[in-house]
């Protein structure tokens, strides 16, 4: 790739432009040196949710190399040798150290997947000065987007790349091309155009709904709009979850299902009790049937962190557990995939979409909240859930069973979804601190519960691990881990009071009240 630096440019070339138009536009001041035409194949990568796109980056495989570059200037940031264009890349498995360093924090556990493939005929031209020295590089590119068997010709591009130290020549070349040929800089990078041509969405599919609601909007319409977006997220993630491309497809799908159920519960009064009851049961089923697969994903994702809690010398001993978890995960995923591919799921999603579309036309006699302004209705729900949380939290003391904290956490999730989905209706600066305090509290509650589940998993898997040849040492290591987990759980519990106090403090409550008023 040629870096465009600060001042280079990419132009879209009109199809009717004559072959010698470019050289004509630059004559007589500059001559052109023609290079051999080449064919270049590129595969562009991004995560499903477009993390590289959001960071103005592009990852591309071409000519045996995987390159990370700045999306606009095409300046190469890091690269690694890679003979083939892989179907899936995990940052942790990358060869190039620099490449890994840059990508890991960005894409985390998400896989980089091919988002577009192009094949281009490329002609490289040197713009020469009086001494026949190259002072600007021109690249004429005729790209074709390839997706499966289909081929879509994209607009030809003229790339004007600088040669260091020859800025004046670059300015002159650009002005000549713009003035004489009327060229305008391309608005979209090549890979975005290729993604769009293949029917995709440049920037990927976001897992969070992005919706602007009006406080005065009818509650049933607002609810249907939010739920339709969540349904979109569910549908978009099904294929990736079935194919098990990375752990986040299933996770995002399940979060969207959970949010859907939360809206069904919290805004129940905008729906007719039937078929709402049936839909709720079906979404609960979808949530449950995919649960074990997600639990095992989490256990494996956390495995290395858990392992590193052990002393260096013992860390390896716990490895047999990984094998056991991986086997179980495979089975759980197969089960989840079967459910996601089933007729039951597809008809649920179809009928849910249909239901949402026609919701506002249904009779209102059994939908008491349907015509309420969403601003008021959601505020009421946020208040109620918040009040409930405060009540539950205050009842917790040192003698309360773990279930009390779990229940509080569940309510917290409910509140969080309400704030995420409907918080935009209220003053942002008042909602934000509430979200912050809630997040801190939820983190503590989450840590408390996660440690319990982790310890429980270790205990549950002990028979299986112990039955393996290398199981004895692993069991010992697991015993140490259980102890560490229990200690951390106790630490989370002791943190609870402080976090809850911040969440339920008088000023915090007043702020929320003001926001919702």
Partner 1 sequence: MTRVLATYNIKGGVGKTSAAVNLAFLAVRDGRARALLWDLDPQGASTYLFRIKPKVKGGGRKLVRGKSDIHGLIRGTDHEGLDLLPADFSYRHMDLALDATKRPTRRLARVLAPLAGDYDYVFLDCPPSISLVSESVFEAADALLVPLIPATLSSRTFERLEQLVSGEPSGEPQVLAFFSMVDARKRLHREVMERLADEHPSLLRTAIPAAADVERMGLHRAVIGEFAPRSRAARAYEELWAEIGERLAPERRP
Please state the closest distance from residue 434 (CB atom) to partner 1, in A: 45
Closer CB to partner 1, 134 or 495, in the complex: 134
Distance from C-alpha of 412 to C-alpha of 442, rounded to nearest angstrom: 7
Longest C-alpha distance within the chain, in Å? 89
* Sole binder of partner 1 in the list 6, 36, 164, 343 (CB under 8 A): 164
Distance from C-alpha of 300 to C-alpha of 58, rounded to nearest angstrom: 29
Please state the closest distance from residue 141 (CB atom) to partner 1, in A: 16
Please state the closest distance from residue 56 (CB atom) to partner 1, in A: 20
Closer CB to partner 1, 169 or 374, in the complex: 169
Q: Which of residues 380-399 bind partner 1 (CB under 8 A)?
A: none
Closer CB to partner 1, 163 or 310, in the complex: 163
Residues facing 118 on adjacent strands: 42, 145
6 belongs to the binding site for partner 1 (CB under 8 A):
no
Please state the closest distance from residue 356 (CB atom) to partner 1, in A: 53
168 belongs to the binding site for partner 1 (CB under 8 A):
no
Q: What are phi and psi of 515, to 5 degrees?
A: -65, -40
Taking residue 291's Cβ as centre, other Cβ atoms within 10 Å add up to 13
Burial class (CB in 10 A: 0-12, 13-18, 19+), 396: middle
Please state the closest distance from residue 118 (CB atom) to partner 1, in A: 18
Chain-centroid distance, C-alpha 18: 44
Q: Which residues contact 17 (CB under 8 A, 6 or more apart)?
A: 181
Q: What is the DSSP letter of 342?
A: S
* Sole binder of partner 1 in the list 65, 70, 119, 280 (CB under 8 A): 65
Gyration radius of the chain's alpha carbons: 29
166 belongs to the binding site for partner 1 (CB under 8 A):
yes
Q: Which residues contact 141 (CB under 8 A, 6 or more apart)?
A: 120, 121, 122, 123, 156, 157, 158, 159, 190
Distance from C-alpha of 227 to C-alpha of 352, rounded to nearest angstrom: 9
Closer CB to partner 1, 165 or 358, in the complex: 165
Q: Using DSSP bridges, classify how beta strands 38-46 and 65-70 pair: parallel, antiparallel or unpaired.
A: unpaired
Closer CB to partner 1, 2 or 49, in the complex: 2
Closer CB to partner 1, 164 or 506, in the complex: 164
133 belongs to the binding site for partner 1 (CB under 8 A):
yes
* Sole binder of partner 1 in the list 126, 143, 189, 471 (CB under 8 A): 126
131 belongs to the binding site for partner 1 (CB under 8 A):
yes
Q: What are phi and psi of 369, to 5 degrees?
A: -95, 0
Residue whose entry in the numeric block shows the structure tokens 């996770």? 251
Please state the closest distance from residue 174 (CB atom) to partner 1, in A: 16
Distance from C-alpha of 9 to C-alpha of 160, rounded to nearest angstrom: 5
Please state the closest distance from residue 133 (CB atom) to partner 1, in A: 4
Distance from C-alpha of 68 to C-alpha of 100, rounded to nearest angstrom: 10
Distance from C-alpha of 439 to C-alpha of 66, rounded to nearest angstrom: 38
Residue whose entry in the numeric block shows the structure tokens 């990078």? 189
Closer CB to partner 1, 76 or 440, in the complex: 76
Tell me which stretch binds partner 1 (CB under 8 A): 89-97, 164-172, 284-292, 465-473. 164-172
96 belongs to the binding site for partner 1 (CB under 8 A):
no
Chain-centroid distance, C-alpha 391: 35
36 belongs to the binding site for partner 1 (CB under 8 A):
no
* Sole binder of partner 1 in the list 16, 18, 28, 132 (CB under 8 A): 132
Q: Which of residues 136-155 bind partner 1 (CB under 8 A)?
A: 137
Distance from C-alpha of 159 to C-alpha of 182, rounded to nearest angstrom: 15
Tell me the site size for partner 1, rule CB under 8 A: 15
Please state the closest distance from residue 131 (CB atom) to partner 1, in A: 5
How many residues are listed for the chain in this entry?
517
171 belongs to the binding site for partner 1 (CB under 8 A):
no
63 belongs to the binding site for partner 1 (CB under 8 A):
yes
Tell me which stretch binds partner 1 (CB under 8 A): 41-49, 133-141, 272-280, 407-415. 133-141
Three-state SS for 420-432 is HHHHHHCCHHHHH
* Sole binder of partner 1 in the list 8, 162, 240, 375 (CB under 8 A): 162
Distance from C-alpha of 358 to C-alpha of 354, rounded to nearest angstrom: 6
Tell me which stretch binds partner 1 (CB under 8 A): 160-168, 310-318, 325-333, 424-432. 160-168
One character per residue 74-93, x = contact with partner 1 (rule: CB under 8 A): -----x--------------
Which of 304, 331, 342, 496 is closest to 406 using CA atoms? 496
2 belongs to the binding site for partner 1 (CB under 8 A):
yes
Closer CB to partner 1, 77 or 502, in the complex: 77
206 belongs to the binding site for partner 1 (CB under 8 A):
no
SS3 for 505?
coil
Which residues would be at the binding site for partner 1 (CB under 8 A)? 2, 63, 65, 79, 126, 131-134, 137, 162-166
């Amino acid at each position: 790739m040629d870096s465009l630096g600060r001042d280079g440019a990419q132009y879209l070339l009109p199809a009717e432009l004559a072959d010698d138009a470019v050289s004509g536009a630059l004559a007589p001041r500059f001559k052109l040196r023609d290079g051999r035409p080449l064919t270049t194949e590129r595969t562009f990568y991004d995560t499903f949710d477009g993390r590289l796109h959001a960071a103005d980056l592009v990852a591309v495989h071409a000519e045996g190399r995987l390159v990370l570059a700045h999306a606009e200037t095409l300046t190469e940031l890091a690269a690694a040798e890679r003979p083939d264009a892989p179907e899936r890349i995990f940052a942790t498995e990358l060869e190039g150290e620099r490449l890994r360093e840059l990508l890991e924090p960005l894409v985390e556990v998400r896989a980089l997947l091919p988002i577009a493939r192009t094949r281009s005929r490329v002609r490289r031209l040197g713009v020469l000065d009086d001494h026949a020295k190259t002072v600007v590089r021109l690249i004429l590119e005729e790209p074709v987007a390839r997706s499966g068997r289909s081929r879509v010709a994209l607009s030809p591009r003229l790339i004007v790349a600088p040669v260091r130290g020859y800025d004046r020549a670059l300015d002159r070349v650009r002005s000549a091309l713009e003035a004489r040929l009327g060229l305008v800089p391309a608005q979209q990078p090549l890979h975005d155009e290729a993604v769009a041509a293949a029917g995709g969405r440049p920037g990927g599919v976001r897992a969070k709904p992005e919706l602007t609601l009006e406080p005065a909007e009818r509650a049933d319409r607002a609810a249907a709009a939010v739920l339709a977006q969540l349904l979109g997220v569910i549908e978009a993630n099904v294929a990736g979850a079935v194919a098990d491309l990375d752990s986040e497809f299933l996770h995002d799908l399940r979060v969207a299902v959970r949010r859907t159920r939360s809206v069904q519960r919290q805004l129940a009064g905008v729906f007719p009790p039937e078929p709402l009851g049936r839909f709720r049961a079906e979404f609960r089923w979808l949530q449950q049937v995919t649960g074990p697969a997600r639990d095992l994903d989490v256990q494996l994702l956390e495995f290395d962190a858990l392992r590193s809690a052990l002393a260096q010398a013992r860390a390896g001993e716990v490895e047999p557990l990984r094998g056991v978890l991986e086997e179980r995960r495979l089975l759980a995923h197969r089960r989840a995939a079967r459910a996601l591919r089933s007729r039951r799921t597809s008809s649920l999603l179809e009928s849910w979409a249909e239901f949402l579309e026609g919701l506002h036309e249904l009779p209102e006699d059994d939908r008491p909240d349907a015509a309420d302004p969403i601003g008021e209705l959601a505020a009421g729900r946020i208040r109620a859930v918040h009040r409930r949380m405060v009540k539950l939290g205050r009842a917790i003391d040192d003698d309360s069973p773990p279930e009390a904290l779990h229940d509080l956490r569940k309510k917290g999730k409910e509140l969080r979804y309400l704030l995420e989905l409907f918080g935009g209706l209220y003053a942002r600066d008042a909602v934000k601190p509430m979200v912050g305090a809630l997040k801190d509290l939820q983190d503590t509650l989450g840590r408390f519960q996660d440690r319990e589940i982790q310890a429980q998993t270790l205990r549950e898997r002990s028979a299986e691990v112990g039955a393996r040849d290398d199981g004895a040492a692993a069991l010992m290591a697991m015993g140490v881990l259980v102890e560490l987990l229990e200690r951390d759980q106790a630490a989370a519990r002791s943190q609870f009071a402080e976090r809850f106090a911040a969440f339920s403090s008088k000023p915090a409550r007043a702020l929320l009240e003001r926001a919702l008023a």
